[in-house]
Amino acid sequence: MADLPDHPARAPDDAIPERVRGSPPGTPRWVKVFGIVAISVALLFVLLLLTRGSHGPHRHLRRVGAPGMAAPSRRP
Amino acid sequence: MMMPARLRKFALTAHVATSVGWLGAAIVFLALAVIGLTSQDPQAVRGAYLVMAPAAWFVLVPLALASLLTGIVQSLGTTWGLFRHYWVVFKLLMTVFATVVLLFYMETFRLVAGVAADPSTDLDAVRNASPMVHAALALLLLLVATVLAVYKPRGMTWYGRRTK
């Protein structure tokens, strides 16, 4: 998840934390974009849940319970 | 608690190996899902869905949990911290989200395998787009996480600025 160079002389600038290289104040633009995308995806998912019903394992199967459907095995 | 350099290297190696391994496993699952959807060979179609559940238990789940665990260790053992930098926080959230969805999805793998195991089930009923959609989304998420880990975009959280 995070790594630090143990040899600063070989380290690229982007491998050094802000407290070493200086942090710009405020929230960076990429964080805002990430946040907007994450909230949009979450809202889309909620909208799909509301319009299409619950999103459980059985939703992923076609014609569950239809004739010819096997009883699923309990083993992984 | 800062880890000594050797231990940090070992932890980083473990984290990269498990994370990239998870990414590779997601690609394999995407390939299996495409085979299941498009192959004209009935045995290949059924086999693709049958192998997903055990392969997920033996590969996807351990790699996901190992990636999450080694990532947390790596963050806490270095000055990056777990909640100091936005990229670490986003990566953590994405990894937790992907792992939780995977664990819930194991039931779907089991059900899909059950359908594929029944020889009387029509092949069109065996084919299922869900594994492909989920594998593609997982791959996208893991690729974004990899990009974050490599580029480490700037930006400290409120907590990070306070504890600087």
pLDDT of residue B148: 96
Residue carrying structure tokens 């989200």? B97
Tell me which H or E stretch contains B144.
helix B130-151
Residue A64 has what pLDDT?
45
Share of chain B above pLDDT 70, in %: 100
Confidence label for B26 from pLDDT (cuts 50, 70 and 90): very high
* Separation CA B138–CA B135 (nearest Å): 5
CB contact under 8 A, B85 and A18: yes
CA distance B13 to chain A (A): 10
Tell me if B155 sits within 8 A of B85, measured CB to CB. Answer: yes
Retrieve residue B65's tokens.
């949990």
- Least confident piece of the model among A55-59, B125-129, B150-154: A55-59
Query: Which residues touch B162 (CB under 8 Å, ≥6 apart)?
Result: none
| 3-class SS of residue B156 | strand
- Higher model confidence: residue A70 or residue B44? B44
Residue A59 pLDDT exceeds 50? yes
- Distance between CA atoms of B151 and A22, rounded to whole angstroms? 16
Best of A1, A20, A27, A52 to disrupt the B interface (most B CBs within 10 Å) is A1
Question: Does B21 score more than 80 pLDDT?
Answer: yes
Task: Tell me the pLDDT tens digit for each residue of B28-73.
Answer: 999 999 999 999 999 999 999 999 999 999 999 999 999 999 999 9
pLDDT of residue B144: 96
Asked if B8 contacts A6 with a C-beta cutoff of 8 angstroms, the reply is yes
* Cβ-nearest to B15 among A1, A15, A60: A1
- Contact at 8 Å (CB) between B27 and B146? no
Backbone angles phi, psi at B85, to 5 degrees: -120, 140
- Residue B122 touches chain A, beta carbons under 8 Å: yes
State whether residue B110 sits within 8 Å of chain A by CB: yes
Task: Find the CB nearest A28 among B115, B125, B154.
Answer: B154
Nearest to A11, CA basis, from B4, B5, B161: B5
Contact B8 A24 (CB under 8 A): no
Amino acid at B136: A
Contacts of A58 in chain B (CB under 8 A): 111
**CB nearest to A69's CB, from B85, B110, B115:** B115
Q: Chain A contact for B84, CB < 8 A? A: yes
Q: What percent of chain B is helix, strand and coil (3-state, nearest 5)?
A: 80, 0, 20
Residue B38 or residue A68, greater confidence: B38
The pLDDT of B91-120, averaged and rounded, is 95
**Euclidean distance between CA atoms B13 and B73, whole angstroms:** 12
Quick check: helix, strand or coil at residue B44? helix
Residue A50: which pLDDT band, with cuts at 50, 70 and 90?
Answer: confident
What average pLDDT is seen over chain B? Answer: 95
> Is B77 in contact with B8 (CB distance < 8 Å)?
yes
User: Max Cα separation, chain A?
Assistant: 68
